[in-house]
Structure 1
Amino acid sequence: MSTETWISGAHKRKETLLSQIGGEKILKEAVDLFYKHLLSDPDLSRFFHGTNMEILKWHVLNFMSVAFGDVPKTFDLENLILDQHKFLFEDPYGLSVDDFDRFVGCFKMTLAELDIENDVVEEAVGVLQRLQPVFEKGQRDAELRKKTESRQLHFLQTAALASVVGMAVLSWAKKRN
């Protein structure tokens, strides 16, 4: 998914989405409440162990300010997410599309709790939902890497076993001669 796909057709509409939400002040409240919900969810809180939450909140506030405002055309969101968050798709975290959907659900609940109009909530959620294919790709890529690593490990184990057997046969043959 290119950044163009992510922002296509909605540029003007999204320029006003941040102000429809209530501006930076309300967005900051939303981010604080959002992380309160995430940290109280046992399935999602595991992604944040050992994380400096203030830095993360700042990062997400900036991301959403851009996402709900004016996304630069040169912003390659897909690669940014996949490169910077690759470890979350891997074990032990195993970030999945289901987790993404839960994150989006928590964000939707957060905006509703702040009494933001339903159509604005749906528009904001729609912006985030456009990122789902990136998470699908991250999950697929992690599963493929795991299969590849498993095959490589199996190959190395087989090669090591063949080597040991070969050395044992050679040793046995030497002793016979």
Structure 2
Amino acid sequence: MRFAAAILLSLLFIPSARAQLPTVDPANQYRLIGPADRSDSRCIGQSETPLCAVETLLACFARRDAELCRIVWSGGEGVSGFLAKLQSSRYWWSYRIAAAELSGAGEALIAVAGRMCGLQTAEPDCFTTPAPPTSYRLRQVDGRWQVVDWQSPPGQHPAAH
């Protein structure tokens, strides 16, 4: 009986988790993160879905906002030092979802192809070639998604594309 209940619960979880995953963007479709009033995302600062968690982390990097990192990054306790090592200027970030998949119960992987579009002092110029995708690994904890880690191609950093 317990086995049947476990299977039923796992089957119920998979569709809802899969429904939370973003769709892959076409190669020429990009989203934009900049100042709070000029971002395409409507869920920055939230972590109810894997995409919201990734967009919140990207906004943390682009805006140099440590509080956004702490909301979604499991390593966020050292975020102030992390951000201090990055370029000091805030910038526009253009990105597309290159891949999204579940990697286990309560875990997901989202690959983001991004490009830095200039400092936030002017309108963004996003005609640069995107960097190879960075993969973000997420885990659901207490109903909220957390970025566990990310992996960029060699020589790349997600906040410096």
| Higher Cα Rg, which structure | 1
TM-score when scaled to structure 2?
Answer: 0.24
If asked which structure has higher relative contact order (CA below 8 Å, sep 6+), I would say 1
Greater share of helix residues, 1 or 2? 1
